[in-house]
Amino acid sequence: MMSKAKILSAYEEMAESYNNLIDHKPHNAYYDRPNTLSLLPDVKDKSVLDAACGPGKYAEILLAQGAKVTGFDLSTKMIALAQQRNKNQGDFFVHDLAKPFENLKDASFNIVLCALAMHYLQDWTSTIKEFYRVLKPYGVLVISIEHPFFEYNYFNSTQYFEVEPVKCTWNGFGKPVEVNSYRRSLGDCISPLTQNGFYIDELLEPKPVSEFEKLDPKHFRELNEFPAFMCIRAVRKG
């Protein structure tokens, strides 16, 4: 089994550069974020849980739109950066996405957002159950993940139906960092939701927005040919 310490150490190592680049790094700013945000309902006066919030960029956007934001992340450095970025607005704390959210009450959020983090979990079931628990009836869950078909090709997998540990080197955040995660099938991205009290309201295979092209024309072209990410909006049944 992959060590959680490896995932944590990668993010602790690149936290500062990640935070410095997140506003304009193409895959985040002009691919993941605009598409993921497009699935959110109006957040004004709504309570939002930003699960695995990183340096608090999503929280910054949502707070500016009038949301009440609670965020957590596995990385202590990321939480410090989220607090700094949001100038003591919002409530941020260190917590592991894989463990029960013990300090969050039942039915206390209108919206849960989890961007580009679920692929760090070997098993989604307990986390999805926690999202269900903390959401109000008919509350909205929006997640973005690495696209299962992209990952199958990228990692040269031969076992589509397996949940398998994978790793790659990220070069975009200063010095190269090895990032470990789990690759899974499309069914293993959908069934934990549909089997634990959610229905899928929308599945978005995103395309990059135009600003991406100026910064990275090669990946802009590739992402218009084949998606690297996938965004899902799920609704908690009554």
Q: Which of 28, 61, 50, 38 is nearest to 146 (CA)?
A: 28
Q: What is the pLDDT of residue 2?
A: 54
Can you list the residues of the chain whose pLDDT is less than 70?
1-2
Q: What is the pLDDT of residue 172?
A: 79
Q: Which residues pair with 70 in a beta bridge?
A: 49, 91
Residue linked to tokens 């009440």: 68
User: Could you give phi then psi for residue 58, rounded to 5 degrees?
Assistant: -60, -45
Q: How crowded is the C-beta side of 87, counted as CA atoms within 13 Å?
A: 3
Q: What is the pLDDT of residue 5?
A: 84
What does pTM read for this prediction?
0.96
Q: Is 28 helix (H, G, I), strand (E, B) or coil?
A: helix
Q: What is the pLDDT of residue 205?
A: 98
Q: What is the pLDDT of residue 171?
A: 87
